[in-house]
Amino acid sequence: MNNYPKLHNATWPGLVGKGPDSEPPIPFDTMLEMTSSAEVNGVKFDGLDLGVLEPHIDINGSDEDFKRLADKISGHGLNVGSLVAPIWAGSAMGNKEERKIFIDMVRKSCHFGKVMREQGVRPYGIIRIDSAASPEAWSENPIENSNRIVQTFREACDIAADYDEKLAAEGEICWGGMHSWKTMVATLEAVDRPNIGFQADMSHTLLYLLGYNKPEDRILPENFDWSDRETLTAGLKKVSNVLRPWTIDFHVAQNDGTVHGTGSHDKTGRHCLATDPNGKLDVANDAGYWLRDENGVLTKAFKHLCWDGCMFDNSVMMQQKTWNDILATMIKVRELHGWEETN
């Protein structure tokens, strides 16, 4: 039985899209309990990917706070993997002060990750970033704004290198300079740092095919017939062939081909439940376009996979069945595209 890549759940779905304009956040301890309790035929989640975000985690907390958190997570039999840096207090495209805040949040996230590693609970993973700027603002001056994002990302990479960390930019249609597959590649190439990479989320990358915020980069035709699996497959291969060489972190996800936003989280890829009949992806099969190269050979570019399911209703997220179904889907991905190693 394949035991790699390791299977992780994410904590930030308890926060993203929650808040004053939506439903209340789901506490960290609840996300931890639901994850550790999930089980399918004796297989359980191996770990958590963490959003270093309040109210779950105070990035300004002490090392002792972080160590207690590490003990709590390991006490549930789980590891820690990738971390989401809370960079939205600043912006990679902003003024000097906003960019300074962005860099500082990356630095603090790297330190948090270092403490997790030292506690023996974080054997792998990256620091996740985005531009924290909208496509609309970016489009006002694409050249200047792209240059600003690139420079900020370079500075962030240099900080991360001091901690032996890699940064992964999560391609979403809602982030300027990352809002189409072509702009994402251009940004990564321009950053030109060995510790920058791409975080592929199956939900978000599907929307790259639709060119939602950059119509000229659309791959699928207007009014696409989703039953045309051949054309969809060709589109998925086109995007993954370009971005796979950059991919150092991966989110298993489903998408119904629409955009969605709740609370403070603007329109972005609509994550669907693993069992959603409206999902457009054959999740286990289509994950292979990212986990295998164009010749079908496993890349083994990362040690774990994470499920990302943002903006589900709290009533759904509080059902253990939800997480069991998600785990079952991830097990299928690993059965098809995993490998065996001695732990």
Residue 342, domain member (yes or no): no
Q: How far apart are CA 316 and CA 294, in angstroms?
A: 37
E strands in 24-142: 47-51, 79-84, 127-129
Give the count of domains, the chain. Answer: 1
DSSP state, 14?
G
CATH number where 53 lies: 3.20.20.150
Element holding 230 (H helix, E strand) = helix 229-243
Over the stretch 193-244, which tens digit does the pLDDT of each residue have? 999 999 999 999 999 999 988 999 999 999 999 999 999 999 999 999 999 9
Output phi, psi for 157, to 5 deg: -60, -40
Gyration radius from the chain CA atoms:
19
Counting residues of the chain whose pLDDT is more than 90, the rounded percentage is 91
Rounded to 5°, the CA angle 270-271-272 comes to 110
Q: Which SS3 state, helix, strand or coil, does residue 242 take?
A: helix
Q: Which residue range forms the structural domain that includes residue 233?
A: 6-337
Query: Stretch 152-177: mean pLDDT, rounded?
Result: 97
Contacts of 335 (CB under 8 A, 6+ apart): 2, 284
Residue 333, domain member (yes or no): yes
Q: How far apart are CA 24 and CA 121, in angstroms?
A: 29
**pLDDT value of position 259:** 78
> Which pair of tokens denotes residue 268?
């972005």
Contact 268, 172 (CB under 8 A): yes
Task: Reply yes or no on whether the pLDDT at 12 is more than 80.
Answer: yes
CB atoms within 10 A of CB 268: 24
Task: Give just the sign of the alpha carbon dihedral 90, 132, 185, 167.
Answer: positive
Task: Tell me the CB-side half-sphere exposure of residue 238, using CA atoms within 13 A.
Answer: 17
Candidates 54, 66, 78; CA nearest to 116 is 66
**pLDDT value of position 114:** 98
> Which pair of tokens denotes residue 139?
């489009």
Rounded to 5°, the CA angle 12-92-69 comes to 30
Total-model pTM? 0.96
Residue 231, domain member (yes or no): yes
**pLDDT value of position 268:** 63
Over the stretch 266-306, which tens digit does the pLDDT of each residue have? 456 668 999 999 999 999 999 999 999 999 999 999 999 99
Task: Reply yes or no on whether the pLDDT at 262 is more than 80.
Answer: no
Contact 125, 174 (CB under 8 A): no
Residue 210, domain member (yes or no): yes
Residue 162, domain member (yes or no): yes
Contact 197, 247 (CB under 8 A): yes
CB atoms within 10 A of CB 44: 15
**pLDDT value of position 271:** 82
Task: Reply yes or no on whether the pLDDT at 258 is more than 90.
Answer: no
Task: Reply yes or no on whether the pLDDT at 79 is more than 80.
Answer: yes
Residue 282, domain member (yes or no): yes
Residue 23, domain member (yes or no): yes
Asked if omega into 135 is within 30° of 0 (cis), the reply is no
Q: How far apart are CA 321 and CA 38, in angstroms?
A: 8
Residue 1, domain member (yes or no): no
